[in-house]
Each structure stands twice: as C-alpha cells, then as structure tokens.
Copies of this chain bind each other. A is one copy, B any other.
Amino acid sequence: MAEETPLVDGATRLYGIIGHPIAQVGSPRLFTARFRAAGLNALLLPLHVLPDHFDETLRGIMALANLDGLVVTIPYKPRVVSFVDRALPSAHLIGAINAMRRERDGSWTGDNFDGKGLIRALIGRGHSVAGRRAMLIGAGGAGKAIGFALAEAGAAAVGLFDVDADKAENLHRRISAAFPRCSAEVTPPRADGYDILINATPIGMVDGDGLPAVFPAFDPALLVVDIIIKPELTPLLAHAQACGCQIVGGRAMLEGQADEIMRFFGLLE
C-alpha cells in the first residue's frame, strides 16, 4: 500500500494566497485538495499581508526558497505588478496579476486568470465562446479581465455596460485596440442579440439583491453566467433558470481558474 502523503513535513513545497482580509478565501482548501489528489507534497496557504507592511512582507515571502508560487486576491492584484520580473500579456492588459510563479532562474512571472478561468469553465461545460456574442454587465476589475478574455477567446462581439459609463467606454477602447477582430460596443444592459449574458458586478451577493439590470424574459437559448460565488443561485441565475436557460455560476469560474493556475504553476499537464 502506498504511504499517504503527509499533511506537512520538512520537504513540503509551499504556495500561498496573499490578500487582506484573508480568512474568507477559498483557494487554500481548493488548491490543497488538488495538490493532494495529484500526489504532490504541497500546500496553498492563506498569507495575510497587511496594507501598511505590504512591500516588506511580499519581499520576504518571495525570498522563501521553498515557496514556488502565489495567488493574489483583493486588494493586491494591481499592486503586485511592480514586484514581478515579467507580466504575461493578460496581466499586462488588465494591469493586475492574480497568480505569480518563481522560474528556475529565480525570477518571477505574473499572469491573470480571472477571465481565462471563466472561459475555461464555459468551454469545459461544452459552451463555445469563439464566434459568439457576449453581453458583459460590469467593467470593474473582474469585468475587465472577462472582457479581454472573451475577446482573446475569439468572441465575435462583446457588449459592455457599467453604471460608471467611463469604465465601460474605457474597456471598449482597450478591447478594440488589443483585439480588433472582436466587435466591442458600449450598450445599455440587454440580452437580445446576444448568446451569452455575464454578470460581473457584485449585485446578487447580498440578501435582498435583485437582478443587475431590468430584463424581460430571456430566450431559452441564452447562456447566463454569474461570477458571484455565494449564493450559488443568484437572483439572475434563478431568473435564467425559470426562463429555461442554461446557467454557469461563480464556483465553476473559480474551478476553471484553479485549473489554469495549476497549469501556470507547472503542476498540471
């Protein structure tokens, strides 16, 4: 019988997630379970970095010789960009990093999987993105990442709405510049004429929240996506389900991200 991987020993390789606050993050449980399922002696730890001590703490963590990679969460995704030796294209576009790894030569590379995780989740569930038209509600941090990822994955069109019109307009310009083959357009929130509707706002997280915008009944052919993790069935997804639409929730995006980040860490084929 093979010996069970020990919980932790001197040879355990370390990964971490940095954020503030930290107690609520799901990555330690999610990644560590995957590491162990893959037979790796590795953990992903919550690393609570305080804003006032950010620079010294991150430098110290990055200097640990048995720490191989970091996941980055709120509020540090933009702030870590100046700490890596190179930011891969998505990170560069978004201006934020959500995973960074140490290379063999000791340098650090950062990338952003906030959008790619969602694309992976969609494709993994049999939904194609290439050639399709997606409506994105919310052009903040997550929305920006998803917008670029949709364009990168070959979406024919991306409709953009944000209550802050400047944010939508800015993302529109940047998607158009980086992905000229994708038709980006700023539009009021709507579902008609689109194949996929994505909520990238926090509306739906809090008890009593309604839909992120006023919608008529959806066409059952519409795929409806919400990036909110809790509750699992947001008001938007409940509405979509009632209309007979297929739905994809935040948990799927999180798992898609974990797959992408595992691969980025070199731990998955």
Contacts and interface: CB of A to CB of B under 8 A. Distances in A.
Interface residues of A, number: 41
Interface string A24-58: 11111100110010000001111111100100111
A27 to B, nearest CB: 8
B23 A11 contact: yes
Contact of A12 (B9, B28, B59, B62): B28
A65 B50 contact: yes
15 contacts: A7-B29, A7-B36, A8-B28, A8-B29, A10-B29, A11-B23, A11-B46, A14-B46, A14-B47, A22-B66, A48-B64, A48-B66, A48-B67, A50-B65, A56-B59
A208 interface: no
| Interface residue SS majority, chain A | mixed
Listed from nearest, the 7 A-B pairs whose CB atoms lie closest are A60-B60, A48-B66, A48-B65, A10-B25, A57-B63, A53-B63, A11-B23
A7 B27 CA distance: 12
